[in-house]
Chains A and B, each alone.
Chain A
Amino acid sequence: MGVQYGFSEQQTEIRNTMREFAKERVIPARAELDEKEEFPHALLQELGKMDMMGLYIPSELSGFGGGSFDFCIAIEELSRICIGVSVSYAANALGSYPILLFGTDAQLKKYMPPIAKGEKYCAFGLTEANAGSDAGGIQTTAVLKGDKYILNGTKQWITNGGEADTYTIIAMTDKNKGARGASAFIVEKGFKGFSFGKKEKKLGIRCSATRELVFQDCEVPKENILAREGMGFIVAMKTLDTSRPGIAAQGVGLAQGALDEAVTYARTRVQFDKPIIANQAIQHMLANMATKTEAARALTYAAARTIDAEEKDVSKISAMCKLFATDVAMEVTTDAVQILGGYGYMREYPVEKMMRDAKILQIYEGTNQIQRNVIGAALIKEYASMK
Chain B
Amino acid sequence: MHIVVCIKQVPSSIAVKTDPATQALTCTGSDYLINPFDENALEAALVLKDSDKAKVTVLTIGAAQAADVLREALGRGADAAQFISDAAFDGSDAWATGKILAAAIQKLGDVNLVICGKQTFDGDTAQVGPSLAEFLGWPCVAFVRKIALEAGALKVERMYEEGFEKIALPLPAVLTVGKEINTPRMASLKGRMAAKKAQLAPITAAALGLAPETVGAQGARTRLAKMAPVPRKSGGIKVDGSDAAVAAKTVVDKLREMKLV
- Whether the Cβ atoms of B187 and A50 lie closer than 8 Å is yes
B183 to chain A, nearest CB (A): 10
From B157-165, B188-196, B208-216, B246-254, the one touching the partner chain is B188-196
Contacts of A55 in B (CB 8 A): 189
CB under 8 Å from chain A, chain B span 166-191: 185-191
**Which chain B residue shows the least CB distance to A51?**
B189
- Whether the Cβ atoms of A50 and B196 lie closer than 8 Å is no
**Which chain B residue shows the least CB distance to A66?**
B189
- Whether the Cβ atoms of B190 and A64 lie closer than 8 Å is yes
Contacts of A176 in B (CB 8 A): none
Chain B CB within 8 A of A150 CB: no
Contact with B193, one of A10, A21, A46 (Cβ below 8 angstroms): A10
- Whether the Cβ atoms of A25 and B186 lie closer than 8 Å is yes
CB under 8 Å from chain B, chain A span 35-56: 46, 49-52, 55
In the complex, A310 Cα to B87 Cα: how many Å? 54
Chain B CB within 8 A of A14 CB: yes
A220 to chain B, nearest CB (A): 34
- Whether the Cβ atoms of B186 and A13 lie closer than 8 Å is no
- Whether the Cβ atoms of A21 and B189 lie closer than 8 Å is no
Task: Summarize A's interface: helix, strand, loop or mixed.
Answer: helix
Contacts of A25 in B (CB 8 A): 186
In the complex, A50 Cα to B191 Cα: how many Å? 8
- Whether the Cβ atoms of B193 and A13 lie closer than 8 Å is yes
1/0 contact trace for A20-40 toward B, CB 8 Å?
110011000000000000000
In the complex, A52 Cα to B186 Cα: how many Å? 12
Chain B CB within 8 A of A367 CB: no
How many A-B residue contacts, CB cutoff 8 Å?
33
Chain B CB within 8 A of A17 CB: yes
Contact with B187, one of A10, A17, A64 (Cβ below 8 angstroms): A17
Contact with B189, one of A9, A24, A50 (Cβ below 8 angstroms): A50
A19 to chain B, nearest CB (A): 11
A222 to chain B, nearest CB (A): 37
Contacts of B185 in A (CB 8 A): 46, 49
In the complex, A14 Cα to B187 Cα: how many Å? 11
1/0 contact trace for B196-238 toward A, CB 8 Å?
1000000000000000000000000000000000000000000
B158 to chain A, nearest CB (A): 29
In the complex, A20 Cα to B72 Cα: how many Å? 12
In the complex, A16 Cα to B191 Cα: how many Å? 13
- Whether the Cβ atoms of B196 and A13 lie closer than 8 Å is yes
A42 to chain B, nearest CB (A): 11
B11 to chain A, nearest CB (A): 18
**Which chain B residue shows the least CB distance to A16?**
B192
Given A10-B193, A13-B193, A51 and B186 contact (CB-CB distance below 8 Å): no
- Whether the Cβ atoms of A50 and B186 lie closer than 8 Å is yes
Contact with A52, one of B189, B193, B196 (Cβ below 8 angstroms): B189
A70 to chain B, nearest CB (A): 10
Contacts of A52 in B (CB 8 A): 189
A12 to chain B, nearest CB (A): 10
A110 to chain B, nearest CB (A): 23
In the complex, A10 Cα to B193 Cα: how many Å? 7
**Which chain A residue shows the least CB distance to B192?**
A13
CB under 8 Å from chain A, chain B span 64-95: none
In the complex, A16 Cα to B75 Cα: how many Å? 13
Contacts of A51 in B (CB 8 A): 188-191
CB under 8 Å from chain B, chain A span 46-105: 46, 49-52, 55, 64
Q: Mark A residues whose CB is within 8 Å of B.
A: 9-10, 13-14, 16-17, 20-21, 24-25, 46, 49-52, 55, 64
Given contacts A17-B187, A46-B186, A51-B190, could you give 13 more A-B pairs where the C-beta distance is less than 8 Å?
A9-B196, A13-B193, A14-B189, A17-B186, A17-B188, A17-B189, A20-B186, A21-B186, A50-B186, A50-B189, A51-B189, A52-B189, A64-B189
5 nearest CB pairs, A to B: A51-B189, A50-B188, A51-B188, A51-B190, A17-B189
A sample of 27 cross-chain residue pairs with beta-carbon separation below 8 angstroms, ordered by A number, consists of: A9-B196, A10-B193, A13-B189, A13-B192, A13-B193, A13-B196, A14-B189, A16-B192, A17-B186, A17-B187, A17-B188, A17-B189, A17-B192, A20-B186, A21-B186, A25-B186, A46-B185, A46-B186, A49-B188, A50-B186, A50-B187, A50-B188, A50-B189, A51-B188, A51-B191, A55-B189, A64-B189
